[in-house]
Structure 1
Amino acid sequence: MNAKTIDKIWTGILYALSIFIVAILALLLGIIFIKGTGFWDPNFLFGSPKLGEAGGGIGPQLFNSFYLLVLALILTVPIGLGSGIYLSEYAKEGTFLNIIRLCIETMASLPSIVVGLFGLLVFVNFFKMGFTILGGALALTILNLPSLTRVCENAINDVSKKFQEASLGLGATKWQTIKNVLIPASIPQILTGVILAAGRIFGEAAALLYTAGMTTPHFKLGSSIASKANPFNIFRPAETLSIHIWKLNSEANLPDAAAIANKSAAVLILMVLIFNIAARVLGKKIYNKYAGIK
């Protein structure tokens, strides 16, 4: 066979595999959304669970998931971006830098359950924090920090050195060049990494089982910030949506536990899809803005 025939064969195989993967994803989404029909009901999305009764909602769990997401990103993004800038622009090639990168790669490959056990030992037991939102946010930071650091480092490295040299040649300092040239030019990739990390945070369960807990106090608006009834208290336990799904399927303490779990799964996967699509759309728009493409 000549080169063109071989190329057509392998191209066909690639297309077939791509279609197969897309079909599996479509089948998975279809099953989840069909089983979770009715998840868009406001009473379900914003209502509270009813202990021992059918027809409960996921309002507190949904709030906990978004609250944990915000806290984890507040901790993760500045540290990840700062680490990426250091590794890309300030760290010198050598043994020390190789050790840092090896540690980052090792941490990135840790299973989330291991990070959860670490959080249990350190945040819950050693620091006597108990099961808290803050402990869960710290565990999620440890889980996502290595991957976000590498994304930020690679994004800054991908910016053409000509831009950096031109800025320095015009008299700008190194920090001014990083702040005004490198970071804006690498924002699309960084933003994509942040939103993908957000999707992972929103759907995480294993690391939160041992740090944030599996219960949520009854919310009471207007209560003291130190009270566990205050939804914004970071030192209260918090059951997220992913943990709620696991709990429903493992304990089944509600008459319609299976139906609530299916609806919750549909909400969860819809949010993860929104995060992923948003990453692509926003990243492309920001890139076009900086590239001058209309």
Structure 2
Amino acid sequence: MISVNTRSGLNQFAKAVTQTAGGQRVVTSFPSLKRDWSERDEMLPALVPAFANNLKLHKFSLSSSKKVFNLNAHLFNNKSQSIGGIGVSHQYRLAHTDITIPDFSSYRRTSNKNVNQNSDESSDDRRAFTYLITAGAGVGGAVAAKGAVHNIVNMLAPARDCLALSKVEVNIGNIPEGKNVTVKWRGKPVFIRRRTAKEIATERAVNIGELRDPETDEKRSPTGEWLIVIGICTHLGCVPIPHKGDFGGYYCPCHGSHYDASGRIRKGPAPLNLEVPDFEMNGDVVVIG
């Protein structure tokens, strides 16, 4: 690149244009320069005829009135101009052809390298890849979370020997009719009662609409003969007394709650019936838990 930048001044301007043009002829039309050359042209033949004749062959011609010298016809293929004037900056630049334009093709997707193709045409493929990566990350995260939760649950769960004690087997074949047996299960008292036919008929004839906590006797005692309930009062956690109270079932001496022979609350402050635990009947053996 050739770049010339000068401030106003006739000598500097002429020198800059001459160097830029590679020694080509420079045409100017400044009046003072024309006048000086005209005076010298008139005086020199009288003083030194031979020198004047020789000078006419080599000096710059000032006969033209052009203000702009066009270098296009001499040096360059594109339009190039050098313009000068009093109090005007002079600058001449050529385009750089040795600078490499940055190429980011290695960072672009293959589907987007064609400048004549609309990027919307390949957007579905790009989005499908993004969705696939997102789905894979989601599945991987779910599997990792499942493993973490499983490990935490196993760590917090009770030991196997404790789980073995969570179930209690009781032989009920030797319990006489109308009697109640108390066993311990998970640190709680459990009442096992073998009811008489009269008690069964009485409890199943009760109108559940009159109960505070409505529940049928068939649901609480599927066999009818055996009633199994947790012996903890639903009021404040006291242990009721079997075969006591106004209804012949259970009575809590702490605050006077009365339960019938099906363990349902009939009188007193207790809000709910006695809880029935999970159990299985295997002949004369009942498994609680």
TM superposition score category, shorter chain reference: under 0.3
From the two aligned structures, give the one with the greater strand fraction. Answer: 2
Tell me which structure has the larger Cα radius of gyration.
2
Instruction: Give the TM-score taking structure 1 as reference length.
Output: 0.24
Instruction: Give the TM-score taking structure 2 as reference length.
Output: 0.24
From the two aligned structures, give the one with the greater helix fraction. Answer: 1
